[in-house]
Amino acid sequence: MTVGGDFISAIEASKTYTTRSGLIHAVQGANFSAKEGQFISLLGPSGCGKSTLLMMLAGLEPASSGRLVLAGEPVLGPRRDTGVIFQDATLLPWKSVLDNVLFPVDILKLVRNEYLDRARELLERVGLGGFEDKRPHELSGGMRQRVAICRALIHDPKVLLMDEPFSALDAITRDQMNVVLSELLERYRKTVIFVTHSIREAVYLSDRVLVMGGRPSSMLLDLDIPFSRPRPFEIEETQEFGSYCRTLRLTIERGHAHSDPSRAKVSFAQGAS
């Protein structure tokens, strides 16, 4: 059961850190919701609280105030129905590709043999069929992140939380990974919250883009991306795609231009360009 039809909700969610130099307000009063199956990107400059909000949704950082709800239940800690993918693939170097993918199955004490076919299917779908016995040091950066995505999907979570998973990759590999992820999610429908600094990446992948800015962070814009799926990569060359990118860029620039985030807020109707 979901709250008001929303699968994920953040209600006045805030995070404050206590340091020796005083309080740091990383996130303040974040409000947003996601329907089941939506792909939502959190976009904004470094230090605006995107990753902090994602870790709060993952249950890895407790909220200082407010509420986070997933599938009708409060997020109070890490959950089995949530998969998390970090900037670094964080693969275990002594394990094979197949064993890295199956690692969550072992941790959750599930029956390993029941997941072998799924692990091989996932690796095949991301172009790593035949690499099952390789070690992480034998893979490129993009290949390691493909393994990390398979690992996050192996136990069939309802939600994928992705923290800039392609930021360390070169531009060509990053574009390839965007296509791989898009195709993978056509097959394995998930609700995704995706943190990125890349405007084009956000527009290509997302159903909605939330722009965050200011310190403490605030939501500056919630923008619908209406392109049908599956999306050919050539869509990035269209005028409409460029229009959405400009809207997001202007919003980020306005957020930078004002020390008070409330003065930078833009009043676009959802989906406006």
- Amino acid symbol at 167: S
- Non-local CB neighbours of 13 within 8 Å, separated by 6+ positions: 27, 29, 30, 31, 53, 56, 63, 65, 66, 67, 68
Mean pLDDT within 76-98: 93
Amino acid at the residue 255: G
Neighbours of 134 (CB within 10 A): 16
Q: What is the model's pTM? A: 0.87
Q: How far apart are CA 218 and CA 234, in angstroms?
A: 33
Q: Report the alpha-carbon distance of residue 42 to residue 164 in Å, rounded.
A: 10
Residues 6+ apart with CB under 8 A from 22: none
For residue 43, the SS3 value is strand
Chain centre distance of CA 180: 15
Say which range, 2-6, 35-39, 124-128, 262-266, has the weakest mean pLDDT: 262-266
Tokens 């299917």 belong to residue: 121
3-state helix, strand, coil in the chain (%, to 5): 35, 25, 40
Give 69-78 pLDDT, tens digit per residue: 998 899 999 9
> How many angstroms separate the CA atoms of 99 and 154, rounded?
11
pLDDT in tens, 100-157: 999 999 999 999 999 999 999 999 999 999 999 999 999 999 999 999 999 999 999 9
